[in-house]
Amino acid sequence: MKPDFQLNDHEIYMDNAATTAVAEEVLDAMKPYFEEKYGNPETVYQLGRDAKCAVSTARASISDIIKCQPEELFFTSGGTEANNWAIKMAGTSLPDQGVMVSSIEHASVLKSAKYRCRNVPYFEIPVDSYGVVDLVVMENELKTRKYALVSVQYANNEIGTIQPIAKISELCKEHGVYFHCDAVQAFGKVKFDVDDVGADLISLSSHKIHGPMGMGALYVKQGTILEPLLHGGGQEGGMRSGTLAVPEIVGFGKAAEMSIDSIKTDMPRLMKLSEDLANQICLSFKAKRNGHSTQRLPNIVNVTIPGMETSVVCGIMCSKFGICLSAGAACSTAKRQSHVLEAIGHDAKDALSTLRFSLSRYNTAEEITMVFCRLQAAGNQAESRSLI
């Protein structure tokens, strides 16, 4: 059920790659653990046992979806922590070996890898104009130097391109390298399990699938050498210390359960809506759609519109027309060119003329029509301002 808390009666939210509205069913599942079932799961009395049982249930639900063992799944504060943990602490017994990442990874991957690689090799795998990693370059680099870890995302958060994950996994296995996959954007949008991905570590997040913010998980394949990132009370089997956020974990579990049906029913519909929106924009504005034509997430539309100042358009769309969208990733600043667009060959001018629309199960065909009409109006207003 769509949550009933829009800012006004004409707001349309299309920035779901940044975060999603918490589903009413998720809120209902979480509520008891804020109120009467508020116990610390590490305690032995009934309130604590109830909380511990809820954590175990959520862990089992998510584990069932990605087909891993519950003891291979560790809760974190979100995708950023999961990425930091995997990249900084996996394979640290090989201190002289570096990290390889794709050039379009999330900032939490790129910055973590650079931090770890202050005195060891760091390499960014280039991508083609669609955002697909160059497997030939990757393989040649693996043959040339020793790496402890390769990190490549399942799908990109800006342009939606899905990577050839199975082939990447094969190369990593062939060269004896740990493989980490940031699946934050793909989880709940694309059906996959740990065998499909073939990674040693997989990052997940709650708030991209209508779960609460501040909650994620890291899958760690049995036998993977991973040191704790956080030390303290020894929660999560000694792997991730800190009092567990029980309500958020419960919410994550519920959101993950709901995503099973959403992948079957909502995502095909969103793919059609995305195609309709992209086609209308490209035809009307002579725009170019970014990302792969077929291997992409069903809910992301990233378009470069020649001559349009998208920072101005975004402001008009939001303040005047009540449309929430983005000129790039939420974790990027407006003053910095998107490293993703740069990697796929866009110059600064193109980057400043690019918009990202990202849909969720709550968006409708009527909203797509309205967004397109308001984009036309905002574009005209922006053009008029530039002429003054």
Taking alpha carbons only, the member of 195, 155, 156 closest to residue 173 is 195
Q: Are strands 288-289 and 201-205 parallel, antiparallel or unpaired?
A: unpaired
* Residue 167: other Cβ atoms inside 10 A: 14
* Residue 236: other Cβ atoms inside 10 A: 20
Residue with tokens 């800006």: 158
Catalytic residue among 53, 172, 318, 331: 331
Helix, strand, or coil (residue 9): coil
Q: Looking at the chain, how many residues does it have? A: 388
Q: Give Dmax over CA atoms of the chain in angstroms.
A: 70
Is residue 311 within 8 Å of 288, Cβ to Cβ? no
Contacts of 96 (CB under 8 A, 6+ apart): 120, 146
Residue 331 designated active-site: yes
- DSSP H helices, the chain, are 24-30, 46-66, 79-89, 107-116, 135-144, 165-174, 194-197, 246-285, 310-319, 339-343, 348-351, 365-387
What's the DSSP call for residue 45? S
Side chain identity at 381, as an amino acid letter? Answer: Q
Measured CA to CA, the distance from residue 147 to residue 368 in angstroms comes to: 45
Contacts of 344 (CB under 8 A, 6+ apart): 104, 127, 128, 129, 130, 131, 159, 290
Measured CA to CA, the distance from residue 260 to residue 245 in angstroms comes to: 23
Angle among Cα 219, 225, 254 to the nearest 5 degrees reads: 15
Q: Are strands 73-76 and 122-125 parallel, antiparallel or unpaired?
A: unpaired
Measured CA to CA, the distance from residue 84 to residue 300 in angstroms comes to: 25
Q: Which residues pair with 99 in a beta bridge?
A: 122, 149
Catalytic residues: 331
